[in-house]
Each structure stands twice: as C-alpha cells, then as structure tokens.
Amino acid sequence: MDTYLGKRINRGYWSDILNRTPLGPLQTSLLEHISKLISFGESLTRQRIQIFTPLLETGQGERSQQCADMLCIERSNQGITTRQLKGNHTWHAMMKDGQPLIGLDDKQRQYVFPIVDNGGRIIGGISFTLSPSIKAEQYEQEYLLSDTMQRLMLTATDEQILSYEPMSYFDGLIIFDDTYKILYANDAAMKLVDVLGFDRRLVGSSIFSSTLKMSAIQQVLLDRSIRINEEIYQDMVIRQHMIPIAMGRNETRCFLVLHDCTRESKQQQELLVKNSIIKEVHHRVKNNLQTVAGLLRMEARRSSLPDVKQALQEGINRIESMALVHDIVSHYDEDYIGIRSIYDELCRLLRMSMVRQDQEVTFTYSGEDMLISSHMASYVSLTINELITNSLEHGLDGNRGNVHLAVTDAGSTIKLAFTDNGKGLPSDFSVSSNKRLGLTIINNLVTHELKGSLSIENTGTGVLVTIYMKKEA
C-alpha cells in the first residue's frame, strides 16, 4: 500500500496525525517543528529527508509488524505533505533500538536517526537518503553531514529557523567543530576558496588556516548564536552565514555557508546610486517649479486686477501641486507615493492660500492609502488640486464646510470619490459642455492620462465626483 494523502501542513493535517498515529499533541507539535527544516536541510545536504512515525496498530502479527505501515512526512511539489508507506527494516530497527542506523532502500543508502520526546520515548525518526551518484569513499563525509543536520533539526528554535535561507548549488558549505577543525567541505566550498587564492585542502585543517576572514568564530561558538556577515576578498563579496549546532553537552559544530554575492552587491550599489540621482533630479525640479510659482506670486501681488490675481493664483496652485509630488519623491527611497500623502499635503497648501481665517473648512480622507508611481502621481495631484480648488471657490463659496476624499481598490481600477457639502451644481450642468478651465483640466487628465472615467453629480447635500483610473501594470 502506497496511498498518497497530499495534505499541506495545517491544523487539519496535524489533527489527522493525531487520529492516525499513537502520538499526543506535544509529540505531534515536535514533528511539526522538525518538519519546518526539511526544505532547508535538503538544500544543504543534497539528500532526501523524510520524517516518519508508526501508524496505529491494526492487530497484525509480529512478523507483519516488522514492516508495518508508517506515516511519512516529506517535501513534494505541493509543499510539506504526508503519505502512508511500507516501513522498511532499517526504520523499524531504529524504532526498536533507538540508535542511528545505516540501511539500504531500493539500492540507495540511508542514514536514519531517532526522534525522542521529552519523556525519553522514541516517537519516530529522520531519514537521509543519499543520491545514487555518491561514491563509497564519500560515505563517511555524507554521514557526518547528515548527523550534523539532524541535530540542527532537533535543536533549532522557531526564531533561528526564520533566519535560514535555502542553499544553491553554487554555495559553499564547511563544517567545523569547537576545536576549529574543518570536518567537511563540499565541492562548491573548495572551488570558491580556490578562486579566492587559498589552499583547497580544507578537511582536516584549521578554519583559521583557510585565510577566510573569520573574526566572529569564537563568539559564535561561545554564545551558540547565528551570525551573518559579508566580507570583501579583493573584488569579490562573500556572505558568510555561521550556524552553531549543539551536538551534545561537550561538543559543538558549526555550519559555515559561503555565498558569492558579488553581483548582488554591485547591483545594490548601482541601485543606490541610481536612486540618489533620481532623488536629486526630483529635488531640483521641485525647486525650479517653486521658483516659477514665486515669480507668479510676485506678479499677482503687483497686479491691481482681481481677475488677473485669481488667474495667477490658480496657476500657482497648479504648479505647487506638481512641485508637491517631486518634493515627496525626493524624500523617499521608493519611486511610489501614497494617494493620502498627496491629498493631505494639497489640503495643507490650499488651506494656506485659499481658506480665509474666519472660514472653517474640514478636510477628511477615508479608505485605502493606494500607492502609485511618481509619474501617475503628477496627474493625480493636478486632478485633486482642481477638485479642491473648485470646491473652495464655487461649492463652498467662502462659507464653512467639509471636503472629503474616499479611495477604494476596485480590482483593475482605483476609485476616487470626492465630495463636498457646498451649494452643488446648476440643474443644467454637463461635463462635456462646461467651459471652465478647471473642469476641462480634470476631464482631460482623467480620460487621457489616467485612462479612466469621470462622473459629476449633485447629492442633495453637495457634489460627488467619482473617478475610476486604471491601475499601472
């Protein structure tokens, strides 16, 4: 019988183990904890790792019980899953004796280690199956690798597990003990130290004789704490991940994972330089726009014509709304801006320039703070600027009132619902026939630049402007 259950790790899965095995809740939790390291362990050892535990007895005879079915926990394409397997002789012998064993399964070599609960009872085991390509002279090294990995699986805390990253085939792996003697080195490690110009004869030598920069070794072994650092070797950047493992009261081993992150480091450096240049460009554009706004402000003060002053002030507000986007981007590492940040800053600027001291206007925001690119934000800021300006000039008309923006994630679009509680629109109002510059700007921006749609309607207590704009790919 080889029935595949195909269940991901979840509460139902562990409940199934409780029902189908003689394990209690604490024992089941122990298996769950160990199974979290299967994927990491397989990437590190290049061996197949299985956790197994006996199923409930069904009254079979002694002979049948020697190969009774077991519940196997392993990695598959669906994640960590279970399946029911015929127990082999090595697995059952280990369950009986409680000692690590070496066996063969389908002509493949296996190293099997016991799992013991807090009461000293053997509740299952961890099996490491070697690749058929492994040669006999490598068996001793492979056993040391399996032995060290199973101890890590049994002793690692949840916090430590979160820091483990799966290894690639190009990552080097070295195991050394608390006497600093190198016990194991994979082919990638030997090739890597060869590239660095060091002696490839690692196994049997001291970790300090490898000329690797290992200043933190003593502290790692003393505290049994994980350490990740990057070291520069000429033109290479090597990430060194040290994982100490308590093998017993008086023995500690340490995994040393070597990852060549030279390309990643260069790309990160190039990205930082690029971001700095972009931020500087945004900063300069903002300064130039504010200079233009300042010149227009001087002209507005010099003019004695109210219509000219109003037209210049509207131009100033539009320029400052664009400068606002560049200012926000220049202060953040990412080239994305929250719509709420744009709205709040525009409300602050327009309150200063358009709201009288004796006029009480409340600006509010609700919904999600959707992130949009700086390119899209320029059009959104101009649109919101025109909406707020229209509300203050025409809707509220110098009276007290409320202005509100609600933002909703509508799937492939973003919905902006802008409202005020002003006097509303004329009964014969039409967006298409309206000749006011502000509404023309809003309609063109939404339709052409934001790839969206616009509707304006009276609500009985003011105006509702609804905008749907297409999300960026």
pLDDT per residue rounded down to tens, the chain (473 residues): 333 333 344 444 566 666 777 888 888 889 989 999 999 999 999 999 999 998 877 555 444 445 678 888 898 887 888 888 887 888 889 988 889 999 887 778 999 999 999 888 999 999 999 988 888 999 999 999 999 999 999 999 888 888 888 888 888 899 988 888 889 988 888 887 777 666 667 888 887 776 666 667 777 777 778 888 877 777 778 888 889 888 887 888 989 888 887 776 566 666 666 666 666 676 677 778 778 878 888 888 888 888 888 788 778 777 777 777 667 666 565 678 889 988 998 888 888 877 888 889 999 999 988 998 877 888 888 888 888 888 888 888 778 899 999 999 988 899 999 999 988 877 766 666 555 666 787 888 888 888 889 988 888 888 999 999 988 86
CA angle (25, 31, 37) in 5-degree steps: 145
Do 197 and 98 reside in the same domain of the chain? no
Write down the pLDDT at residue 210.
Answer: 62
Do 311 and 358 reside in the same domain of the chain? yes
Residue 392 near residue 443, CB atoms below 8 Å: no
Do 218 and 339 reside in the same domain of the chain? no
Q: Which residues pair with 363 in a beta bridge?
A: 403
Residue 430 near residue 377, CB atoms below 8 Å: no
Which domain, by its residues, includes 70?
11-156
Do 108 and 72 reside in the same domain of the chain? yes
Write down the pLDDT at residue 12.
Answer: 47
Residue 275 near residue 281, CB atoms below 8 Å: no
Question: Among 235, 260, 285, which residue terminates a domain?
Answer: 260
Domains in the chain, number: 3
Going from the C-alpha of 269 to that of each of 262, 276, 281, 331, the distances in angstroms are 11, 11, 19, 19
Q: Helix 374-390 to helix 437-444 angle, to the nearest 10 degrees?
A: 150
Write down the pLDDT at residue 274.
Answer: 64
Q: 345 Cβ partners below 8 Å, 6+ apart? A: 324, 328
- With CA atoms as reference, report the closest residue to 395 among 434, 426, 431: 426
Do 125 and 213 reside in the same domain of the chain? no
Using DSSP's 3-state secondary structure scheme, residue 157 falls into: coil
Do 271 and 239 reside in the same domain of the chain? no
Helix (H) or strand (E) holding 170: none
User: Does residue 178 fall inside a structural domain?
Assistant: yes
User: Does residue 351 fall inside a structural domain?
Assistant: yes
User: Does residue 398 fall inside a structural domain?
Assistant: yes
Question: Among 87, 121, 156, which residue terminates a domain?
Answer: 156
User: Does residue 3 fall inside a structural domain?
Assistant: no
Question: Among 91, 122, 156, which residue terminates a domain?
Answer: 156
User: Does residue 1 fall inside a structural domain?
Assistant: no
Residue 48 near residue 102, CB atoms below 8 Å: no
User: Does residue 213 fall inside a structural domain?
Assistant: yes
Residue 84 near residue 3, CB atoms below 8 Å: yes
Residue 425: CATH number of its domain: 3.30.565.10
Do 288 and 196 reside in the same domain of the chain? no
User: Does residue 167 fall inside a structural domain?
Assistant: no
User: Does residue 4 fall inside a structural domain?
Assistant: no
Going from the C-alpha of 39 to that of each of 47, 151, 158, 256, 390, the distances in angstroms are 10, 15, 15, 18, 59
Do 387 and 463 reside in the same domain of the chain? yes
Residue 192: CATH number of its domain: 3.30.450.20
Do 408 and 310 reside in the same domain of the chain? yes
Write down the pLDDT at residue 437.
Answer: 60
Paired sense of beta strands 69-76 and 79-86, if any: antiparallel
- With CA atoms as reference, report the closest residue to 68 among 28, 20, 121, 127: 20
Do 284 and 245 reside in the same domain of the chain? no
Q: Helix 306-330 to helix 374-390 angle, to the nearest 10 degrees?
A: 150
Structure tokens at 114: 């016991």
Write down the pLDDT at residue 407.
Answer: 94
Residue 321 near residue 441, CB atoms below 8 Å: no
Do 149 and 71 reside in the same domain of the chain? yes
Residue 99: CATH number of its domain: 3.30.450
CA angle (306, 312, 314) in 5-degree steps: 105
Q: Which residues pair with 54 in a beta bridge?
A: 70
Do 419 and 285 reside in the same domain of the chain? yes
**What sign has the CA pseudo-torsion 362, 367, 368, 372?**
negative
